[in-house]
Amino acid sequence: MAKRPVSTKPYSGPAGGWGSFRSVESILLQEERIATGNAVLLKQNKPGGYSCVSCSWAKPREPLPFEYCENGAKATAWEITRKRLPDDFFETHTLTELLSWSDHDLEAIGRLTRPMRLDRARDRWVPVAWEDAFREIGAELRGMDPRRTIFYASGRASLETSYIYGLFARLYGHNNLPDSSNMCHESTSVALPQAIGAPVGTVQLEDFRDTACILSFGQNVGSNSPRMLHPLQEAAKRDVPIITFNPLKERGWERFTNPQSPQEMLTLKETRISSQYHQLRAGGDIAAITGMCKALVEADDKAMAAGRAPILDHAFIQQHTHGFDSFAAWCRAQDWAELERWSGLARQAMMDAASVYGAARSAIGIYGMGLTQHKKGVENVRMLVNLLLLRGNIGKPGAGILPVRGHSNVQGQRTVGITEKPELVPMDGLAEQYGFEPPRDTGMNTVEACEAILEGRVQAFLGLGGNFLRAVPETQRMEAAWPGIRLTVQVATKLNRNHLINGEVAYLLPCLGRLEVDAQAGGEQAVTCEDTMTHIHASRGTVAPASPHLLSEPAIVAGIAKATLPPNPRVTWDEWMGDYGRIRDAIEASYPEIFKDFNRRMDEPGGFARPLAARQREWQTETGKANFLVPAGFRTDLGTDLDDPEILQLITLRSNDQFNTTIYGYDDRFRGISGTREVLLMNRADASRLGLKEGDTVSLTTAVDDNVLRQVHGLRVVPYDIPQGAVGGYYPECNPLIPLWHYAEGSKVPAAKSVPVRIRRQEARMAAE
């Protein structure tokens, strides 16, 4: 797609609407898939069809005629594109030269078509036969210390692939299975078990129909989970209050036109989504929620003293929770001025939110990266649980907590064993099932894997999808250290920057995408994924493979595993490859409670749900109750917050035209930015205080004292409706600014939503270069 001229003007349209319609048709055109594309999309997220490769939003039992959104369509078009990496591509381009290409241009070349080996001397990829690749990788791995190897996964691979990948790691001898979740909802996976004894959310789609109130924190529905706009719109039409907390006015939380409703499209009718919108400080959530809790606790104190109906659900609190008294006392003791200072909201705003929430018979708490990717990411999530517990809003219809997961199977990968935490895996069961002694020590998560790579301790890195080097913090140091790894193997569909920077010995192995027909000895195969509402369903590819040389992800994992491990009669790789139903049998044997009757139930419309104790108000916590957990305080980030006016908090954001490091184009329609991603969104008052004006070019430097210079140059100042003290820039372009050690306490999720930076104007000459 040719870049449009740079323009930065506020966008007045709704989320969805004609902009969305035009965007779908334009990506299908760009990927040369107009006719097939529209037909393929009809099977998206439907029983008998395939699960979208974009986000993990639930797939309803009774789908809409078009159960896809603008960004799901982009992800589909990007995968089923007619474009292919030309066979002679690396004859004309060295990897060094390609380092100057953008993320967009690298992936836009098209699908990878053959397995390749790095020719280091000639600085390019050259074709290799699959058998040779497997044999050579196996030989390398056999000579290594398994504990010094890392098997990364990016969250898209199916349950079948993920299960055998995790099993391979353990048979080989390690638990180093970081995944994208370590940069994403790991704060959820740590916080929710402490608070409610479940690692995942408790809300089901039908709760949207029953709910009387929706709270949303730090999530961008219009770009990242647009299908959620349908239940939100239905709720809004029922006059359900929707209260949003986000430093930015995200259009999806403001208003929506359903692109699937001819009537709404023709009349340009919009539905307002949020009834209250609170633009709090970046990192201000603990203070804002404390304000709400304080208002509720104090109103309840008064009501009780006056003999009126209570505000809090005392029966629930007494029967089901632990720690209420100290939490309530802590709330009462907080000072409104401090809460205002740390939240950036007026006392009245917090009171307004509390009074609507306090009057609603049920409520859902939705959140995303705006809570998890902070130094206090784990506390943020626990704080939202505190608010819900006050009114018994977990484990009843219309209520619950709803982390909106990212990658389409990121939650499922954890369910079947992709985790560095051995306590989350049924190791004894695996030991018996496969007759071996699995490693019991904790493996490396993403940040720890990066530390080990920086220290030269890693011998091999396998990437099952993803773009690790681009997604992690500390880009420059990581890129410099990466070639120190002996073996790197990337399983991928498209070329990305991580494929340009490689270990000493390296392989790039192209795989089928989920939308492609996967024919094996036993016929066409289905795979399964788990969505954000814990429903597990089948997905069947529908388009012809991009190339006859591609292998499926399970076949690639099995190929490497067979070449690495001694034969084990109980690990039946060939049988598994012929029929993925046999992998599902193995999953069922390892996890009988979750996957009972797996092969039959995977085709149930809407999928089958995992059992979830917290939904039944059974609390699998140490206290046996749901726990109120008092936060340590309000200071959120690096101790610099609020103190130094020269230092601003950088929020790294996704545009409406990307899926993580996959950049579809250069427009962020809802934010009115077009033709560029090199921008810095700034409050006008901050800009003028720092002597900057619209269109100036600036560089950012991370404001920490650890003797590492972290900089990003060439960003264009865009005055924006963002609170003072915060600035916004795009991920992954701003990742060089994030120190590796700047992560959420307890979960090690990089604190990508609050990076302290200083801003400097670049000389015009330098900016032009």
Ligand X SMILES: Nc1nc2c(c(=O)[nH]1)N[C@H]1C(S)=C(S)[C@@H](COP(=O)(O)OP(=O)(O)OC[C@H]3O[C@@H](n4cnc5c(=O)[nH]c(N)nc54)[C@H](O)[C@@H]3O)O[C@H]1N2
Q: What residues line the site for ligand X (CB under 6 A)?
A: 54-55, 71, 107, 154-156, 180, 183-184, 217-220, 223-225, 245-248, 250, 280, 282-283, 285, 368-370, 373, 404, 406-407, 464-468, 471, 491-494, 496, 511, 513-514, 553, 651-654, 658-662, 731, 734-735, 738, 752-753
Residue 718 binding target from ligand X, Mo ion, none, CB below 5 to 8 Å by type: none
Nearest to 189 by CA among 401, 462, 439: 401
Give min distance, CB of 695 to ligand X, in A.
23
Residue 651 binding target from ligand X, Mo ion, none, CB below 5 to 8 Å by type: ligand X
Residue 220 binding target from ligand X, Mo ion, none, CB below 5 to 8 Å by type: ligand X
Give min distance, CB of 95 to ligand X, in A.
15
CA angle, residues 388, 186, 229, in degrees to nearest 5: 60
Give min distance, CB of 755 to Mo ion, in A.
17
Give min distance, CB of 415 to ligand X, in A.
17
Beta strands 15-16; 255-257: pairing state: parallel
Residue 494 binding target from ligand X, Mo ion, none, CB below 5 to 8 Å by type: ligand X
Residue 513 binding target from Mo ion, ligand X, none, CB below 5 to 8 Å by type: ligand X
Closest to ligand X by CB, 51 vs 652, is 652
Closest to ligand X by CB, 17 vs 392, is 17
Task: State the amino acid at position 329 in one-letter form.
Answer: A
Task: Please give the C-alpha separations between residue 697 and each of 105, 189, 647, 671, 764, in angstroms, as whole numbers.
Answer: 23, 40, 18, 19, 8
Selected range binding Mo ion among 177-185, 318-326, 522-530, 614-622, rule: CB under 5 A: 177-185
Closest to ligand X by CB, 192 vs 491, is 491
Closest to ligand X by CB, 470 vs 610, is 470
Give min distance, CB of 407 to Mo ion, in A.
6
Residue 154 binding target from Mo ion, ligand X, none, CB below 5 to 8 Å by type: ligand X
Strand (E) or helix (H) holding 767: helix 764-768
Closest to ligand X by CB, 439 vs 750, is 750
Closest to Mo ion by CB, 344 vs 403, is 403
Task: Please give the C-alpha separations between residue 729 and each of 271, 571, 655, 699, in angstroms, as whole numbers.
Answer: 29, 47, 10, 11
Closest to ligand X by CB, 188 vs 233, is 188
Q: Between helices 285-305 and 336-343, what is the axis angle to 10°?
A: 150
Residue 219 binding target from Mo ion, ligand X, none, CB below 5 to 8 Å by type: ligand X
Q: How many Å apart are CA 598 and CA 603, to the nearest integer?
A: 9
Residue 58 binding target from Mo ion, ligand X, none, CB below 5 to 8 Å by type: none
Neighbours of 66 (CB within 10 A): 17
Helix %, strand %, coil % for the chain, to 5?
Answer: 40, 20, 45
Which pairs with CB-CB distance under 8 Å and at least 24 residues apart come from 311-316? 311/358, 311/391, 312/390, 312/391, 313/390, 313/391, 313/392, 315/392, 316/389, 316/391, 316/392
| Residues 409-468 contacting Mo ion, CB under 5 A | none
Give min distance, CB of 243 to ligand X, in A.
11
Q: Are 554 and 584 in contact (CB under 8 A)?
A: no
Selected range binding Mo ion among 75-83, 179-187, 339-347, 674-682, rule: CB under 5 A: 179-187
Q: How many Å apart are CA 736 and CA 502, to the nearest integer?
A: 19
| Token representation of residue 303 | 């009501």
Beta bridge pairs of residue 255: 272
Give the three-class secondary structure for 84.
strand
Selected range binding Mo ion among 182-190, 286-294, 427-435, 708-716, rule: CB under 5 A: 182-190
Q: How many Å apart are CA 172 and CA 476, to the nearest integer?
A: 31
Give min distance, CB of 102 to ligand X, in A.
13
Q: Are 110 and 493 in contact (CB under 8 A)?
A: no
Q: How many Å apart are CA 587 and CA 595, to the nearest integer?
A: 7
Beta strands 487-492; 505-510: pairing state: parallel
Give min distance, CB of 219 to ligand X, in A.
4
Give min distance, CB of 162 to Mo ion, in A.
16
Closest to ligand X by CB, 107 vs 379, is 107
Give min distance, CB of 716 to ligand X, in A.
19
Closest to Mo ion by CB, 171 vs 401, is 401
Q: Between helices 336-343 and 347-359, what is the axis angle to 10°?
A: 90
Draw the binding track, 341-380, toward Mo ion (x: CB under 5 A; -: no contact).
----------------------------------------
Give min distance, CB of 354 to ligand X, in A.
16
Closest to Mo ion by CB, 201 vs 241, is 201
Give min distance, CB of 186 to ligand X, in A.
10
Give min distance, CB of 377 to Mo ion, in A.
13
What residues contact residue 252 under an 8 Å CB cut-off, 6+ apart?
Answer: 15, 220, 221, 222, 223, 226, 229, 273, 670
Residue 313 binding target from Mo ion, ligand X, none, CB below 5 to 8 Å by type: none
**How many residues in the shown chain lie near Mo ion by CB under 5 A?**
2
- For 200-251, the three-class secondary structure string (H helix, E strand, C coil) is CCCCCHHHHHHCCCEEEECCCHHHHCHHHHHHHHHHHHCCCCEEEECCCCCH
Selected range binding Mo ion among 125-133, 253-261, 268-276, 398-406, rule: CB under 5 A: 398-406
What residues contact residue 307 under an 8 Å CB cut-off, 6+ apart?
Answer: none
Residue 323 binding target from Mo ion, ligand X, none, CB below 5 to 8 Å by type: none
Give min distance, CB of 57 to Mo ion, in A.
13
Q: How many Å apart are CA 25 and CA 46, to the nearest integer?
A: 21
**Backbone phi, psi, residue 646, to 5°:** -80, -15
What's 670's DSSP letter?
G
Closest to ligand X by CB, 494 vs 537, is 494
Give the three-class secondary structure for 756.
strand
CB-based closest residue to Mo ion:
406
Closest to ligand X by CB, 30 vs 219, is 219
Give min distance, CB of 522 to ligand X, in A.
21
Selected range binding Mo ion among 102-110, 402-410, 451-459, 496-504, rule: CB under 5 A: 402-410
Closest to ligand X by CB, 488 vs 621, is 488
Give the three-class secondary structure for 293.
helix
Q: Are 463 and 197 in contact (CB under 8 A)?
A: no
Closest to Mo ion by CB, 369 vs 390, is 369
Closest to ligand X by CB, 257 vs 661, is 661
| Token representation of residue 272 | 């307002």
Residue 204 binding target from Mo ion, ligand X, none, CB below 5 to 8 Å by type: none
Selected range binding Mo ion among 6-14, 282-290, 313-321, 403-411, rule: CB under 5 A: 403-411
- Residue 184 touches Mo ion, criterion: CB under 5 A: yes
- Catalog residues that contact Mo ion under the rule CB under 5 A: 184, 406
